[in-house]
Structure 1
Amino acid sequence: MTTILAFSSFAKNASTSDYQELEWIALMPPDDLQALLNPPEHLLDIQDGSALDSVDALVKQEFEDEKSKRFQQALVSTEVVETYKDKAIRIPGFVVPLESNEAQRVIEFFIVPYFGACLHMPPPPPNQIIHVKHEEGIELESIQDAFWFEGTLSIETVENDLGTSAYQLSLDNLLPFRG
């Protein structure tokens, strides 16, 4: 209950129907999505937790075959879907805090499609991460809480120690996620 009250202070009077509801895969170009859905066979042989079981290790390897190269590119792709540039969207996700103010409100964060993204390997590709700066900040009770994010999407690459995003959102509303 306190989560709803904490965010209602900056919610604008826009209706949810004013925003186009998106699934995360809509933000990924089809060729990137296909590459990630069809990984090269040799990747299936990598043992969990081994030195090769990370995005960094995969990106640094030199592959001969095109399928492996394309998969490698899709893991770090900043390619975007231009259709959503400057569009009012609504998307579910999780907060990865980047910066807080003196009042312990999160004023800069990534929106990611699943809990633990950026904190655990592998992080989502940049075209599956959205960057937000919000001057008022938001109260975040738990990074495990899912939300609906509403606002205007722009295309801008932002790099941070925790990840890289290919999109940015001017946040209008933040609401608890209810599937």
Structure 2
Amino acid sequence: MSIPFLRAPTRQVLGACLLVLIASTSLADEQWRELDWLELMPEEDLRLLENLPEVEHEGSGPAALPDEILTGRVVPEMDGTRARIPGFVVPLKTVGDQRIVEFFLVPYYGACIHVPPPPPNQIIHVTYKPGFTLDALYEPVWVQGTLKTESVENDIGAASYTLVSENVEPYEG
């Protein structure tokens, strides 16, 4: 389609602007680093996990993690990372219409509720001002925002990371 009243140079400028707009939109999507939960654990914690003894399931309670893992050491390079990470919600604060505005994000369903909580470096304290609703806590979500290496502790658990979320959406693999 040609726009007759635009001269060729003007059409070229508009075309270049359109290309820049498309490229910047693609770059905006790529700004989010998709994280795996194990990336939040320092190497020494990963080594400790790899060397845990096999768990006996007969008549014993949950296996205890080594105290060193529970210290909540962080990966300093993660501070300030614009991240996108999937996980499960442990609500901490809701508003009138049951929108969740503050929660712990954890790597597996039931963490902090039915079983001993994960190590603090496997819990992210998230705030999301607009809030969101979930039909069920076993539904995973994607959370994206800027990750900080800040500790938060309450009666439910302790987190080694915080994130002020810019978006929360249902997880779709």
Q: 2:68 is matched with which residue?
A: 73
CA distance in 1, matches of 2:62, 2:57: 10
- Tell me which of 133, 138, 143 is aligned to 1:144: 138
Q: 1:105 is matched with which residue?
A: 99
- Matched residue type, 1:171: S
Residues 148-178 of structure 1, C-alpha deviation per residue, up to 9 Å, x if partnerless?
1110001111112211100000101112212
Unaligned runs of 5+ in 2: 1-24
Distance 1:139 1:46, change over 3 A: closer
SS of match in other structure, 1:35: helix
- Tell me which of 12, 37, 40 is aligned to 1:27: 40
Overall identity of the aligned pairs, in % = 43
Unaligned runs of 5+ in 1: 1-12, 60-70
Q: 2:170 is matched with which residue?
A: 176
CA distance in 1, matches of 2:33, 2:79: 12
Alignment of 1:1-179 (within 5 A): 15-40=28-53, 44-45=55-56, 47-48=58-59, 50=60, 53-54=61-62, 58=64, 71-74=66-69, 76-179=70-173
Q: CA deviation at 1:47?
A: 4.1
Larger RCO, structure (CA 8 Å, separation 6 or more): 1
SS of match in other structure, 2:115: coil
Q: CA deviation at 1:36?
A: 1.6
Verify the 8 A CA contact 1:129 1:166 in the aligned structure 2.
yes
- Matched residue type, 1:72: D
Q: How many residues align?
A: 148
Q: CA deviation at 1:45?
A: 4.4
SS of match in other structure, 1:127: helix
SS of match in other structure, 2:148: strand
Q: Which runs of 4+ in 1 moved over 2 A?
A: 13-16, 44-48
- TM-score of the two chains, using structure 2 as the length reference: 0.77
The structure with more radius of gyration: 2
Verify the 8 A CA contact 1:32 1:77 in the aligned structure 2.
no
Verify the 8 A CA contact 2:125 2:162 in the aligned structure 1.
yes
SS of match in other structure, 1:156: coil
